[in-house]
Amino acid sequence: MNREATLSVDTATVERLMPVLRFADQARRALQYPALGIAGLFALWYWGGWAIGNNEDTMAFASFAPGPTLAAFWDIVSSGAVWSPIESSLYRVGWGLAYAIAIGVPLGVMIGYFLTLKQVTHVPFQFLRMISPLAWMPVAVLAFATWDAAIIFLIAIAAVWPITYATAHGVQRIDPMWLKVGNNLGANPYHTLRYIVMPAIAQDVFAGIRLAVGVAWIVLVPAEYLGVTSGLGYAINDARDTLEYDKLAAFVLVIGIIGYMLDAICVRLIKRSSYHAEG
């Protein structure tokens, strides 16, 4: 802002305008770099589409370019065709995460609390963690009656590790004095959990959930390539089979947008659950 210019206006006006100006300035600062990043991504996409369209070998895929993709995106949104796959996918991710949280948080609390348990579980858990969840696919299909259940299982098994270990990490960081003071004030185990342990580890748990959401959302799409006839992964596979590459790219766009929103929700939850003064 040009201070000399504003100084020449009478001060009452300036004072009234100040909050507005300040807000505009803040908004500009907050948005300018993200806008730059988005523009960069679009430029890259545009260039990629142009390169594909101008190459004889890849010309058939020219509708991956921003123009056709955005048109198809508008199509699936305005026709409402986009909602049903989103719903199926979110349903699976939601349940998968719910199971992962229900298992991971208590497990993490115990691993963080009992050193022995941590040592006992270290090798098996690290071993299991490094197996791609998709490797369980055949097992999951055999073990579960429905495709939905199998996919939920795969998501849960992928998402449980970050939640477990983030929780355990949070528990290990609990100040032992907090437990001692609680004990001294006559807290029973429920009180300790509810008033001391849970608030103390909330931020770590949500940080784990954020990682888990990322993993779950990545596992979801390949899991939906198999068997099921609904969901975003299926929609992509289906568009490929029918050679509708613009629609395929539009669903990729949808996956990215929803993934981004899920992550943004997690970031908010992490901030809200932080007890640090500046959080």
Partner 1 sequence: MGAAISIDYITHHYPGQEAPTLKDIQVTVAPGETVALIGQSGCGKSTLLHMLAGLLLPSEGCVRINGHQVIKPSPRWNMMFQKPSLYPWMTVRKNASLGLIFQGRKTDMRERIDQLLETVGLSEKAEVNVQSLSGGQQQRVALARSLATDPELLLLDEPFSALDAFTRVALQDEVTRLARERGISVVFVTHDIEEAVAMADRVLVMGSNPGTITAELPIDIAHPRDRNSQAFVDRKAELMGYFGATRTLAADKGSAEAEAPTPDTESEQDESSSSESRARVRAA
Residue ranges binding partner 1 (CB under 8 A): 175, 177-178, 180-188, 191, 195-196, 199-200, 275-277
Q: Smallest distance, Å, CB 172 to partner 1? A: 17
Say if CB 156 and CB 140 are below 8 A apart: no
| Pick 180 or 240: Cβ nearer partner 1 | 180
Residue closest to 202 by CA, chosen among 270, 119, 113: 270
Residue-wise burial string across 160-185, b where 16 or more C-beta atoms lie within 10 A, e elsewhere: bbbbbbbbbbbbeebeeeebeebeee
| Pick 12 or 177: Cβ nearer partner 1 | 177
Q: Please name the residue that has the structure tokens 């929803």.
A: 258
How big is the chain by its Cα radius of gyration, in Å? 25
Q: Smallest distance, Å, CB 167 to partner 1? A: 17
| Pick 34 or 186: Cβ nearer partner 1 | 186
Report the distance separating Cα 113 and Cα 133, nearest Å. Answer: 27
| Pick 207 or 219: Cβ nearer partner 1 | 207
Say if CB 245 and CB 258 are below 8 A apart: no
Q: Smallest distance, Å, CB 140 to partner 1? A: 39
| Pick 88 or 203: Cβ nearer partner 1 | 203
Q: Smallest distance, Å, CB 211 to partner 1? A: 22
Dihedral of the alpha carbons of 205, 210, 214, 219, in degrees to the nearest 10: 30
Q: Smallest distance, Å, CB 195 to partner 1? A: 7
Report the distance separating Cα 26 and Cα 23, nearest Å. Answer: 5
Distances in Å between the Cα of 194 and the Cα atoms of 112, 137, 168, 199, 271 are 17, 38, 17, 7, 20
Q: Smallest distance, Å, CB 169 to partner 1? A: 18
Q: Smallest distance, Å, CB 163 to partner 1? A: 21
CB burial class (10 A; 0-12, 13-18, 19+) of residue 74? Answer: exposed
| Pick 45 or 178: Cβ nearer partner 1 | 178
Report the distance separating Cα 236 and Cα 224, nearest Å. Answer: 9
Residue-wise burial string across 101-137, b where 16 or more C-beta atoms lie within 10 A, e elsewhere: bebbbebbbbbbeeeeeeeebeeebeeeeeeebeebb
| Pick 237 or 273: Cβ nearer partner 1 | 273
| Pick 142 or 185: Cβ nearer partner 1 | 185
Q: Smallest distance, Å, CB 8 to partner 1? A: 41
